[in-house]
Chain A
C-alpha cells in the first residue's frame, strides 16, 4: 500500500499510485464501462463547491496544435446534492474516494469539509486553491478544511504558487500536496478567421504535453525538500512519464486530459507501474 497521509491519524492508504485528476473523471459514474476502477488508487472527484455553480457561458474549449484550454466554470450542484446523488455509489466503489473541494471562503470550506466527514468510503479531501491566492488566505482555507473535518487534506497548488505555498502549507499541516493545478493560458477559439468576425480568445486551464516538462521541473526542485507525499499532476501521457514522476520523488500521480483521449491508457500505466515495481523489487 502507498500511504498518502503518513502523519494523519487515519492515514490515506491507496493500492495503486495512479489516480484520475480532479475534473477529468466525473464522480465515479462516467468511465465505468471503459476503465477498470480496481487499477486506480483512488477516485478523485470532479471539483465540488459548497454552493451550486453553473457552467461558464459561451465557448468552453479552444484547441491549438497539441494543446487546449478549457473554461467550464467548474459546474457542480454543490456538496449537499453531490453527496445525495453519489454517496451510495461511492460506498460501493472498489476504490476509496477523495473529494476535490473548491476552496472559496474559509467558512464555506469548513462547512463542506464537515459534511464530507463520515461519508462511507470518502477517505480524503483535495483542496483546490485558486490562482494568485495569497499565502495567508491559503493557510486560512487549509485551517478551515482541517478544523471541522477529520479527513486527511491534500492541497492542490496552482502552477504559479508552488514556491510561495508548498513549504508554508506543509509546515501548517497539509497531509500531502498535489503538484500542479493546470496553469492558466489563452488560446484563439478558432484557428481560422471566419468571415469578418474578429478572432476570439479563450482563457482557461491549459492541458497538453507542454505541461509535463514543467511538472518534472517542479518535482525535481521540490520533492526532496517536502516532508509529505507529493502527487504529480500535469500532462502525464504514458508509462514512461509516470515512471519519471515517481523517479523524481512523487509518491503518486494523477492523470488528466489523457483520460478523455485514451481512457485505456490509464489502465496500461497502472498495470505497467505495478510490473515496474515488481521488477525493481
Chain B
C-alpha cells in the first residue's frame, strides 16, 4: 500500500519535472490552409504550449521561428496532443508538406494566467489576435475587443463562438467603434470612440489579456489604472511581441524593460503584468 502510494507520488513528480523541462521534441506538421487574414497551420506534438507560451520551430532558416498556439487540441482526439497556430501569409510553415517532421523547442515562456476568472476581457489588434484565440472559451463570460486599421482587415465575426461578446474597432471608423483603443480625442459626428466602452469592460472583467503593439502598453496600462483603482497582480496581462531567437534567455535579444528592471521576454514573459511594462 505504502509502496504503491510512494510510486504514484514519484511518477507524479517525474511527470511534473518532465513538463517543466525545456524540451527538444519532434512535431508532425499536419496541414495548413488560408483563413484570411491569416493562414492556419496544425502540428501534432507531445507537449503543446499553453495560451501565450510558445515553441521555437526549426524551419530551415538561420534561426528558429516562434509559434504561439491559436487553439490547443480543441477538435483532436485526446490521445493526440497538438495545437494550431495562425501565421501571416508567406510564413515558411505554410509551405511544409503534410506529414513533415519538424524539430521543436519548448514549450517555452510564461503564458496567460487567468486562474478561475469568470469574466474575461481579451483585447487585440487584428495582426496580434491569434495568441488570444485559445482563451475564447476559457471563462464563462468572455468579451473580445478587436482593433483593425479598417473594416476590410477585420476577421469574419462568424469565426468566433456565439457566446463571446464582440466589440469591433476600426481606426478609420469604417466599422464598429472608432479607434485607437486608448484615444480620448472627440469623435467626428456619427462615430463613437471605443475608449469609454473599453474602460467599462475593464471595470467589468475579472481578468484582462492584451495582445497589441508593445509601444501601446503604457497607454493601455493607464486605462487599466483609470478603470480599476488597485488592480490585483496579473489582473491585466500583456503579450510582449519581440524576436526570441534562443528561447532560453541566452542571446539577450528579447530583453524587455519592466518596472522591476530588464527581463527576458522568452523566460520571464512573453506575458507580463501590463502595469509592470
Contacts and interface: CB of A to CB of B under 8 A. Distances in A.
A93 to B, nearest CB: 15
Interface string B27-68: 000000000000000000000000000000010011110000
B249 A70 contact: no
Nearest to A67: B62
B91 interface: no
A33 to B, nearest CB: 4
A18 B257 CA distance: 34
A68 B253 CA distance: 12
A60 B253 CA distance: 6
B27 to A, nearest CB: 15
Given A75-B255, A75-B262, A30 B248 contact: yes
A209 B180 CA distance: 43
A24 B62 contact: no
A31 B253 contact: no
B262 A261 contact: no
Nearest to B23: A33
A208 B252 contact: no
Interface residues of B, number: 24
B21 A33 contact: yes
Which of A33, A60, A68, A261: most chain B Cβ within 10 A? Answer: A261
B243 interface: yes
23 contacts: A24-B250, A24-B251, A25-B250, A26-B249, A26-B250, A33-B21, A34-B24, A46-B250, A61-B253, A63-B61, A65-B62, A66-B62, A67-B62, A70-B245, A70-B253, A208-B62, A257-B63, A259-B246, A260-B63, A260-B246, A260-B247, A261-B63, A264-B24
B235 to A, nearest CB: 27
A68 B62 contact: yes
**For the complex, would chain A's binding face be called helix, strand, loop or mixed by DSSP majority?**
loop
A257 B62 contact: yes
A23 interface: yes
Interface string A31-67: 1011000000000001000000011000011010111
Interface of A: 23-26, 29-31, 33-34, 46, 54-55, 60-61, 63, 65-68, 70, 72, 74-75, 207-208, 257, 259-264
Nearest to B251: A260
A108 B177 CA distance: 57
Interface string B49-92: 00000000010011110000000000000000000000000000
Nearest to B266: A30
* Top 9 closest pairs, chain A to chain B, by CB: A55-B255, A26-B250, A260-B246, A33-B22, A30-B248, A30-B250, A72-B252, A33-B21, A60-B253
Contacts of B103: 262
Contacts of B248: 26, 30-31, 34
